Structures are given as structure tokens and as C-alpha cells.
Amino acid sequence: MPGNKGVVYEGPGKVEVHTLDYPEFELKDGPGVNPANVGRKVPHGAIVKAVATNICGSDQHMVRGRTTAPQGLVLGHEITGEVVEIGPDVEFIKVGDLVSVPFNIACGRCRNCKAGKTDVCENVNPDRPGSAYGYVDMGGWVGGQAEYVLVPYADWNLLKFPDKDQAMEKILDLAMLADIFPTGFHGCVSAGVKPGSTVYVAGAGPVGLAAGASAFLLGAAVVIIGDLNKERLEQARSFGCETIDVSQGDPKDQIEQILGEPMVDCGVDAVGFEARGHGSDAGEERPATVLNTLMEITRAGGALGIPGLYVTGDPGAADEAAKHGSLSIRLGLGWSRSLSFTTGQCPVMRYHRQLMMAILNDRVQIAKAVNAIPLPLGQAPQGYQEFDQGAASKFVLDPHGMLARFR
């Protein structure tokens, strides 16, 4: 049996690479594991050797100490890899398959899964609908920033790449299918992006950049991305987005300079609960700023896609209400403008197959758009530090050295 190593949260601001147990077809007790899930048998699962496993902004929220994540939690929910073992109940996935692992863990059997709402599966997290690998309050499924990871309900969850050699040539692009590409795409679909749309994306992190690329894939006429980080805004311009620096004033004034009117057809929140203020408040945390701005600048009757993360528990919040996920949102404004809102995790399985086909047939270069950079697994702490400092990059961990030629 091979060994296993993975990235472990050791408290606010600190991650380390530790030796881990090799996965078994049973969920063991450990940090963050729901007691009702301990001992859960997984004969329907597969053990995946991680070829690529990404650092996500959602991981960064935990590492900053902005959630109730316990020390010792194995991180990572963006996994692409090769199947090395299958459980006795797996029928269609085979050893040797190269696969994308949706970050949502879903059973494929419950009412929500059958309706395509795999982001809120009812059977994988005893606390509430919805689950993910290596994430706080998500049932305790072990994270995938590791050499090997257990994936339950393998026949349902895993997306097999049709040609392994072709997939390895495009592996940095395909690594984005586990989360940020479908998440950005979902934000745009939820916002109603269509051919000819004008789109404002708040946030130029990896999800915001993925949303920008997705908007163009959906036919948008103009995509505007707003952020405080000049390097990330430069990255957005590299594939055709207009950009605004929200530290320079109200986004609607800058949008008017670009479009000739202070509003867009579609708005996407790719920031979430650690939002900063705009203009003179740019250095201060203002968790409701992005949502309120989007309600102001999105055309009446339009829609907001909100893939940015919001949490029910934020011990590092600036005020007591925000510590419990309560924000000063101008709901009356949204109601009066007849705006639609779509929140929650992206149901990855709704999109990942068609986005895979777009990648394999050269219709999108998502790794280039988000500036994907491979790092050895041992450099994960450095990747987390640089990402926290605002690097205009998407760090892809390489546990087995299979991405060395892309560095």
C-alpha cells in the first residue's frame, strides 16, 4: 500500500504538509468529521491518485481563520486524478480512468440529486444538505490536497475524460472543472448572460476570472471585472475584459464611462463575505458592499448570480451580526427593481461535461485565463501565502510530479 501526504490546516494563517493515512472504503473519525458519518461504509467509492489538486479561495477563508474549521482538517476540494482502486459496488468507473471530481459530494439517489441539485444532496452530510471534500461543516469527507483521496458514489460523481493522452495535454485546463470553471459559468448562467449581454463581475480572483471567460463563452458583448488588485485586473484584461479599480470610486460611474450608461444587463458576485468597500472605504471590510452595488448597477428585471461564498459562522467578522452571517443587504432595493438572485454552491455536474468538451475542442483556454501555475505538494504553504497576498494566479498542486513539464 502506498503512503499518503496532504495539506492540513493548523490554525489561522498556517498550513502544513503531513503524512496521512491511505484512504479506505470507510469514513474514519478525525477533525471535522460529523459523528453520524464515522464508520460510514463506502463500497460505492473509488480511491483517486491526485494528478492535480488546486488551492481555492474558499480554502483561503478557512486558513485565514474566518470560519469554524477545526485544526487538523485536511484541505482541498478541487481534485483531478487517476482511479487506482474501486469499491465492490462500483460498476462503470474502472481502475486507470482519468477523471474530474466535482467538489460537491452527491449520492445520485435523493430528491435533490435526481433534480440536478447536486449542491444540496440530502444524504452525504448529516448536518444539512450539501457536502464537499475537506471543508468545514460539510460532513467531514477528507480533503483532496493530498496524494490519494476517497471519492464516494464514484459511478455518479466522477467525470471520465474520454482520451487520457489528450486529457494530459490539457490537464491544467481540465483541472478547473472540479470547481472554479463550472462555478464561474454557473454565476453567469444564473445572471442570465446571453449573446450580446453586458456583464459586471465583482472580483478578479480565480472564480471572477473564470466567470469572465464563461461570459464570453456564453456570447457576452462586454465583460467588466471590478477589483482592488491591479495585478488581477491586468490578468482580466489579458483575455479581453474591461476592468475597473473599485478603490477609485463608485463602480457605476466607471461602468458609465465604459458603456455610456451606469448599468449592466447581468451581475455576478465572485467575492463573497470578505468584501471590501469601494472608493474611500476600499481598505475596510464591508461584507454587504458587493451585493448592494450589484443591485444598484444591474438593469431592472435582471438577475444576480452569487457564486461568491457566504457563511453562517464567521468568527473574524467586523461586527457581531456578520459573525452569524447577517449582513446589511438592501433587499428593498432588489425587490423594487424586480431582480432575481441565485445563491449557493454551484451544482458542478450540471455543467462539467459540456465545459470539458469546450476545453477538449479548443473553445476556451481557462487555465490561461486564470493564470494556472503548478506547484509541488510540498510548496502548498508557499502557495497559500502568495494567494493570500493577492497573487494573480491559480495555484495547482502537483502531488506526484505529473505536471512538471507545465512549470
CATH class of the domain at 5-179+347-406: alpha beta
- pLDDT of amino acid 311: 85
- pLDDT of amino acid 327: 87
Q: Write the DSSP symbol of residue 142.
A: P
Grid cell for residue 237: 484584461
User: Do 268 and 305 form a contact (C-beta atoms < 8 A)?
Assistant: yes
- pLDDT of amino acid 1: 67
What does the alpha-carbon distance between residue 245 and residue 231 come to, in Å, rounded to a whole number?
A: 11
- pLDDT of amino acid 209: 98
- pLDDT of amino acid 319: 81
DSSP line for 88-106? TT--S--TT-EEEE-SB--
The strand pair at 222-227 and 242-245 is best described as parallel
User: Do 77 and 48 form a contact (C-beta atoms < 8 A)?
Assistant: no
Q: How far is CA 212 from CA 55, 203, 245, 263, in A?
A: 19, 10, 16, 17
Residues 6+ apart with CB under 8 A from 257: none
Q: Write the DSSP symbol of residue 21.
A: P
Of the candidates 157, 129, 176, the one whose C-alpha atom is nearest the C-alpha of residue 345 is 129
- pLDDT of amino acid 273: 87
How is domain 180-342 classified at the architecture level of CATH? 3-Layer(aba) Sandwich (3.40)
What does the alpha-carbon distance between residue 18 and residue 13 come to, in Å, rounded to a whole number?
A: 16
Fold match, 5-179+347-406 / 180-342: no
Q: How far apart are the first and last CA of the chain?
A: 29
User: Do 38 and 28 form a contact (C-beta atoms < 8 A)?
Assistant: yes
Of the candidates 125, 113, 112, 223, the one whose C-alpha atom is nearest the C-alpha of residue 157 is 113
- C-alpha neighbours within 13 Å on the C-beta side of residue 256: 9
What does the alpha-carbon distance between residue 407 and residue 401 come to, in Å, rounded to a whole number?
A: 10
- pLDDT of amino acid 282: 77
Domain locations in the chain as residue ranges: 5-179+347-406, 180-342
pLDDT tens-place values along the chain, 407 residues long: 689 999 999 999 999 999 999 999 999 999 999 999 999 999 999 999 999 999 999 999 999 999 989 999 999 999 999 999 999 999 999 999 999 999 999 999 999 999 999 999 999 999 999 999 999 999 999 999 999 999 999 999 999 999 999 999 999 999 999 999 999 999 999 999 999 999 999 999 999 999 999 999 999 999 999 999 999 999 999 999 999 999 998 899 999 999 999 999 999 999 998 888 888 777 788 889 999 999 999 999 999 999 999 988 888 887 888 888 888 999 999 999 999 999 999 999 999 999 999 999 999 999 999 999 999 999 999 999 999 999 999 999 999 999 999 98
- pLDDT of amino acid 317: 82
User: Do 50 and 377 form a contact (C-beta atoms < 8 A)?
Assistant: no
Cβ–Cβ contacts within 10 Å for residue 403, how many? 22
Of the candidates 343, 66, 308, the one whose C-alpha atom is nearest the C-alpha of residue 204 is 308
The pTM assigned to this predicted structure is: 0.96
- pLDDT of amino acid 237: 98
Residues 6+ apart with CB under 8 A from 174: 80, 100, 161, 167, 356, 359
